[in-house]
A and B are shown apart, each in its own frame.
Chain A
Amino acid sequence: MGAATETFYNVIRRQGITRRSFLKFCGLTAVSLGLGPLAASHIANALETKPRLPVIWMHGLECTCCSESFIRSAHPLVKDAVLSMISLDYDDTIMAAAGHQAEAILEETRVKYKGQYVLAVEGNPPLNEDGMFCIDGGKPFVEKLRSMADDCMAIIAWGTCASWGCVQAAKPNPTGATPIDKVITNKPIIKVPGCPPIAEVMTGVVTFITTFGKLPELDRQGRPKMFYSQRIHDKCYRRPHFDAGQFVEEWDDEGARKGYCLYKMGCKGPTTYNACSTVRWNGGISFPIQSGHGCFACPEDGFWDRGSAYDHLTTIKQFGIEKTADQIGMAAAGAVGLSVAAHAVVTAAKRLTRKGDGAAQDNHRG
């Protein structure tokens, strides 16, 4: 560390970032905040003198497994991230202060680090019941979220909760749980979905910002391309068995013991964008498929409402009764087939009766 403190600028310069690109970052930040060109130099000045990147970590409706995942990070170790890379100024799960001393930090950050702090959100705000399904400091969580979002530089939406709504937003979503980007529309939002996201992906996203001095490139769905642009299936080590048509047919069968593909057990790897099959979990030890269970698409939008985790085909509920595409299709084809057959029978009957009538009129022959 520097003389007494290490500024954000020190950290990124040490990572080999030039002053030029640093200034560019400040310019982009100003633009993303909708501020004028003067603000850019203001931000630059602030970051040169202001220390580690302040991060405010808030919790809405969630299960805290995103926080739990974050502290599993092996590289960097979470203690190094928190002590040396960022300044985690508010996080109700681990912060020492409580009550109004905790609340005071939020106000202070808004003023002191206006436009310079990252707002990390775990969970999401419920909008029903005036937001009172999640109360924080006597007020709806959504209020706190909005006010902290107003002055932040960017938002990280942790996990499937913040990104898409996750389990509490599954039907019938009794609390009106709503993903962050539906509530905050005027800030850059980095979605880091997963239930939870992989630890090193989380610290990777945070340290990308402090290391390269910019926000990561996002895909169409707002996820960092670096971790979310390929499917589990694309890099799955069971893929050769998929290609060979070798599938586990039943739990603990011979195929299961040989590590065959879990497609028929409902594996959603082919439609799931995440880094599990490459980065893996808990320091690279395993990932769901490696331990015998199919992927159930935990970072995908609305995965809870796509039928059973074990059904290969999605259950469609729009049609009143729950059925898969094949069930609906076969029923429809069956109905069509039956109608056709019935029509054929009537046609034949008509022709026969006509002949019996002796009225040998054939319309066309007239």
Chain B
Amino acid sequence: MLDKMPQGVTTRIDNDAARRDRSVEHDVVDLYEAPMWLWHWVNAAAILVLGVTGYFIGTGTAAMLGQPSNSLVFRYIRFVHFSAGYVLTVGFLLRIYLALVGNSHARQIFYVPLWRRCFWSELWHALRWYAFLAAKPEKHVGHNPLALLAMFFMFTLTSAFMIVTGFALYAQGSGNDSWQYQLFGWVFAIWPNSQDVHTWHHLGLWVIVCFALVHIYAVIWEAVVSRRSIRSSMISGEREFRG
């Protein structure tokens, strides 16, 4: 089982794991502690804002003829984008911290154990389950392998990518002497024409949109079909296997 992977780095975490193993038996897992819960929703909100403002940045706002020339619509849009970008980034760093100090579930979205056979067999099972071919879902604590793949590639990596490219783009405005350029200017060594960085950053938006679509659907579906309280877990921090 995926969730039986040894993850002991510190005793505390081992204890954690032990507690979790016990709790599986009790069918209730104290998965999402408050900080996780908080992070999830701040993150979701930031991404929503980034997506909408980012889309406008990429498209340009509708005609503003006749508007007073002191209107700063576009500047505000960009300002909100950058602010949300900072929120996302701080949240991401916080999330990494939680992964380091939290339980094994907290680390799940940062790696996919592709090298484990059980991962693949469980993935196969999950695929069959979602394709209505399996009679029963396997019980997972945390994310099932399919969700994990989506989380890791479409959320974690993409978020990191958006942060890196976002700050590189930000460095264009703040100048080559800014800390943003010092930290992220190397991006332009990969794409000397920064137009490419815009393009990839823009494509990232759509990766995240796709993720969100699948993610939200999966949450609802699981809640309805698997009868797991997956939905409430993000709300209460607990997951309960009913039945």
Interface residues of A in 300-353 (CB under 8 A from B): 300-303, 306, 312-314, 316, 325-326, 328-330, 332-333, 336-337, 340, 343-344, 346-347, 350
Known: A242-B74, A313-B58, A346-B132. A300 touches B193 (CB 8 A): yes
Complex Cα–Cα for A301 and B195 (A):
10
The listed residue (A234, A243, A254, A306) touching B75 by CB distance below 8 A is A243
A363 and B136 contact, CB distance less than 8 A: yes
> Cβ of B198: which chain A residues have Cβ within 8 Å of it?
270-271, 314
Sampled A-B contacts (19; CB under 8 Å): A245-B61, A246-B67, A271-B172, A271-B195, A297-B193, A302-B193, A303-B193, A306-B196, A314-B199, A316-B203, A326-B58, A326-B202, A330-B206, A332-B210, A336-B210, A336-B213, A350-B132, A365-B227, A365-B243
CB distance from A258 to the nearest CB of B (A): 9
**B226 in the interface, Cβ–Cβ < 8 Å?**
yes
Complex Cα–Cα for A155 and B202 (A):
37
Complex Cα–Cα for A263 and B77 (A):
15
- Residue of A at shortest CB range from B200? A325
B221 and A347 contact, CB distance less than 8 A: yes
Chain A contact-residue range equals: 35 or more
> Cβ of A363: which chain B residues have Cβ within 8 Å of it?
135-137
**B161 in the interface, Cβ–Cβ < 8 Å?**
no
**B121 in the interface, Cβ–Cβ < 8 Å?**
no
A246 and B214 contact, CB distance less than 8 A: no
> Cβ of A328: which chain B residues have Cβ within 8 Å of it?
203, 206
- Among A83-91, A107-115, A143-151, A219-227, which stretch is in contact with chain B? A219-227
A300 and B192 contact, CB distance less than 8 A: yes
Chain B interface, number of residues (Cβ within 8 angstroms): 55
> Cβ of B146: which chain A residues have Cβ within 8 Å of it?
none
**B156 in the interface, Cβ–Cβ < 8 Å?**
no
Complex Cα–Cα for A293 and B118 (A):
60
B61 and A247 contact, CB distance less than 8 A: yes
Convert A211-239 into 0s and 1s, putting 1 for each residue whose CB lies closer than 8 angstroms to a CB of B. 00000000111000100011100100000
**B5 in the interface, Cβ–Cβ < 8 Å?**
no
- Residue of B at shortest CB range from A250? B63
Which 3 residue pairs spanning A and B have beta carbons closest together? A329-B206, A245-B73, A245-B74
> Cβ of A301: which chain B residues have Cβ within 8 Å of it?
192-193
> Cβ of B9: which chain A residues have Cβ within 8 Å of it?
none
**B114 in the interface, Cβ–Cβ < 8 Å?**
no
**B70 in the interface, Cβ–Cβ < 8 Å?**
yes
Candidate in B58, B64, B221, B243 with the most chain A CB atoms within 10 angstroms: B64
> Cβ of A254: which chain B residues have Cβ within 8 Å of it?
65
A343 and B67 contact, CB distance less than 8 A: no
Interface residues of B in 208-243 (CB under 8 A from A): 209-210, 213-214, 217, 221, 224-227, 242-243
**A50 in the interface, Cβ–Cβ < 8 Å?**
no
Complex Cα–Cα for A27 and B28 (A):
74
Complex Cα–Cα for A314 and B224 (A):
42
> Cβ of A219: which chain B residues have Cβ within 8 Å of it?
176
**A52 in the interface, Cβ–Cβ < 8 Å?**
no
Complex Cα–Cα for A336 and B213 (A):
7
CB distance from A316 to the nearest CB of B (A): 6
The listed residue (B192, B202, B213, B243) touching A333 by CB distance below 8 A is B213
CB distance from B45 to the nearest CB of A (A): 20
A245 and B64 contact, CB distance less than 8 A: yes
